[in-house]
Amino acid sequence: MGLAWWRLRGRPAVGAAIHIAIHIGRQELCLLDGDAVLARYPVSTALNGVGETYGSGCTPRGQHRVRAKVGAGCAPGTVFVGRRPTGEVYSPHLAAQHPGRDWILARILWLTGCERGFNRGGGVDTLRRFIYIHGCPDGTPLGVAASHGCVRMANADVIDLFERVPVGTPVHIQA
């Protein structure tokens, strides 16, 4: 199966060599170098589908880039709240103490939109919506839409991705 889906309007994502392509329909994230696939990972995007509006709980589409990387050197199950490690490491016991918590674990790649009026600025700003690529508890279903808008990955996968991409890496999210 080809990877033509990661192209936007016939152009490579933001013209960079190393970039990330997320296909919501496939629930898949690919790390690419030009057209060469370096890695593929299953993900979970928003249960509410796609959309850019603040408060929608949707995963935003279009051109983005990695604005910040959070969690370098932290343990694989490190729990983050407000992009800060809480000092906790995820466990089933901790989960039982905090039912319903939206677990952000291991690493965070914080995204910012690149398309003014679509995913940047005003009520559609990806950065202000706190949209991340981040880890989640082991056993969390991947390959199905279930998040609150972020892109969830297995902890080992997000750590691998985190180590392979710099701040500024282009990210294209397509339905």
CATH of the domain at 26: 2.40.440.10
Q: Per-residue pLDDT tens, the chain, 175 aa: give them.
A: 345 444 443 344 444 599 999 999 999 999 999 999 999 999 999 999 999 999 999 999 999 999 999 999 999 999 999 999 999 999 999 999 999 899 999 999 999 999 999 999 999 999 999 999 999 999 999 999 999 999 999 999 999 999 999 999 999 999 9
| β-pairing verdict for 36-42 and 62-70 | unpaired
Residue carrying the six token digits 């199905």: 144
Nearest to 63 by CA among 16, 104, 102, 99: 16
Give the count of domains, the chain: 1
Q: For position 91, what pLDDT does the model report?
A: 96
Q: Give the pLDDT confidence score for residue 152 in this predicted structure.
A: 98
Q: How many CB atoms lie within 10 A of CB 99?
A: 6
Residues spanned by the domain of 23: 4-174
| pLDDT reported for residue 30 | 98
CA dist., res. 167 & res. 65, Å (int): 8
pLDDT number for residue 127: 98
Is the pTM higher than 0.75? The answer reads: yes
pLDDT at 100: 87
Please name the amino acid found at residue 164.
Answer: R
CA distance 128 to 120: 9
